[in-house]
Amino acid sequence: MASNLGSHLHLHLLGLLLARLGGRGCAAPITARLDTNDRPVVGILTQIVVDDVLKPFGKTYIPASYVKYVEAGGSRVVPIRLTLTTTDYEKIFKSINGLLLIGGAVDLETSEFARVAGIFYRLALEANDAGDYFPIWGTCMGMQLLTVLAANENLLTKTPAHNIALPLNLTKAAYSSRMFKDFPSQLMSALPREPLSGNFHHYGITVTTFMENEKLEHFYKILSTNIAQNGAHFVSTIEGKRYPFYGVQWHPEINPFQWNSKFQFPHSSNAVQLSSLLAEFFVNEGRRSFHCFADPEEEASALIYNYMPVFTGNFSGYQQTYFF
Ligand SMILES: *[C@@H]1O[C@H](CO)[C@@H](O)[C@H](O)[C@H]1NC(C)=O
Ligand SMILES: *[C@@H]1O[C@H](CO)[C@@H](O)[C@H](O)[C@H]1NC(C)=O
């Protein structure tokens, strides 16, 4: 019935109406503003533990820095496990307002992480096509995975930039991008000058590979590039042309939230502002989604508040880590 109404606007209004009437039993209070969802929930896909020092604590994890990053943007967080059924993931998808794919070190085609991310990715494509706004953000390996999903093949090559903070070499497109266009001009001029982006990767997409791949070119705009420790010119920030999908090869979540002095974590005032503004940006994208949990109890039991992070700052780069 909804599709007969046709336009995006109608779908949007119908969704709001149903939400307000409790059609899907939305947990959001009736006082919520009509045009924006001010009680967003972002899903973070749990990552597979590969690091030996973390193995005693669990099979999957989320560094607390990612959780705090999303929370600092004004959203709550739901951890998503990798062991559920497709039906479970479809239900979770209808309950959350955005998805964060975090860093890690697993196979981008055959791992459980890649498989579950693929399920959400396809659901997000379909939803956005139907006018149901749903943002995805990929950080580091999460961004690499977004390129594999868009290109339908793994195009990564060695672009090492490990434990190094770099200025972002912004492209012209960055200045009119959704991601950066509302940044204060003072910060925009600092981005290409100051080392505000922490890099912890060995692989990436080179600028040449990106530009020669029709699917990637069609799907994403390059907003920044960088030079790797082997001289490779790699893509460091991307934004979907048609879809609200975003990728950063670097780690905005570390600037305010990771402190191990063995690592090049940028902590300057500009570095922290960069992190805050990107978190706010992503959560604002999530505010355009009106997905919600069936009832308040279901929402409460899914939220990250049910879990306790472990102090891991004395033996890993992660200050605190959630294990599942
Ligand atoms: C910045 O990007 C331009 C082209 O996009 C490239 O020619 C230049 O080498 C890059 N410089 C750095 C420092 O990354
Ligand atoms: C890290 O700190 C915790 C809590 O203080 C302690 O129990 C643990 O043994 C420490 N681990 C290492 C490897 O130092």
* Confidence (pLDDT) at 2: 39
Helix, coil or strand: residue 233: strand
Domain assignments of the chain as residue spans, ordered by start: 1-35, 37-323
Active site residue 162: no
Atom of ligand 1 nearest to the CA of 227: 14
Protein residue whose Cα sits closest to atom 10 of ligand 2: 314
CA–centroid distance, residue 314 to ligand 2 (Å): 6
**Is residue 3 scored above 70 in pLDDT?**
no
CA–centroid distance, residue 275 to ligand 2 (Å): 29
| Amino acid at site 144 | Q
| Element housing 11 (H / E) | helix 8-21
Q: What is the C-alpha separation between 257 and 276, in angstroms, rounded? A: 11
* pLDDT tier for residue 23 given thresholds of 50, 70 and 90: very low
314 lines ligand 2 (CB under 6 A): yes
* 8 A C-beta contact, residue 193 and residue 269: no
* Confidence (pLDDT) at 26: 63
DSSP state at residue 307: S
85 lines ligand 2 (CB under 6 A): no
Ligand closest to 234 (CA) is: 1
Give percent of the chain with pLDDT exceeding 90: 89
Atom of ligand 2 nearest to the CA of 313: 1
**Is residue 215 scored above 50 in pLDDT?**
yes
Active site residue 26: no
* pLDDT tier for residue 35 given thresholds of 50, 70 and 90: confident
Q: What residues line ligand 1, using a CB cutoff of 6 Å?
A: 169, 171, 225-227
CA–centroid distance, residue 228 to ligand 1 (Å): 11
* 8 A C-beta contact, residue 227 and residue 233: yes
* Average pLDDT value over all residues in the chain: 92
**Is residue 5 scored above 50 in pLDDT?**
no
Edge-to-edge strand order for the sheet containing 310-311?
A: 47-48, 60-63, 320-323, 310-311
| Amino acid at site 209 | T
Tokens 């102090």, residue located: 311
CA–centroid distance, residue 175 to ligand 1 (Å): 16
Pocket test for ligand 2, best of 260, 310, 311 (most atoms within 8 A of CB): 311
pLDDT, tens digit, for every residue of 281-312? 999 999 999 999 999 999 999 999 999 999 99
* Confidence (pLDDT) at 200: 98
Protein residue whose Cα sits closest to atom 7 of ligand 2: 311
DSSP state at residue 323: E
**Is residue 103 scored above 60 in pLDDT?**
yes
Residue tagged active-site, from 26, 201, 251, 291: 251
CA–centroid distance, residue 199 to ligand 2 (Å): 26
Question: Would you identify the CATH topology of the domain 37-323?
Answer: Rossmann fold (3.40.50)
| Amino acid at site 111 | S
315 lines ligand 2 (CB under 6 A): yes
DSSP state at residue 52: G
Which has the minimum average pLDDT: 19-23, 51-55, 273-277?
19-23
Residue tagged active-site, from 10, 12, 26, 140: 140
Protein residue whose Cα sits closest to atom 14 of ligand 1: 226
pLDDT, tens digit, for every residue of 217-270? 999 999 999 999 999 999 999 999 999 999 999 999 999 999 999 999 999 999
CA–centroid distance, residue 192 to ligand 1 (Å): 10
305 lines ligand 2 (CB under 6 A): no
| Element housing 44 (H / E) | strand 41-45
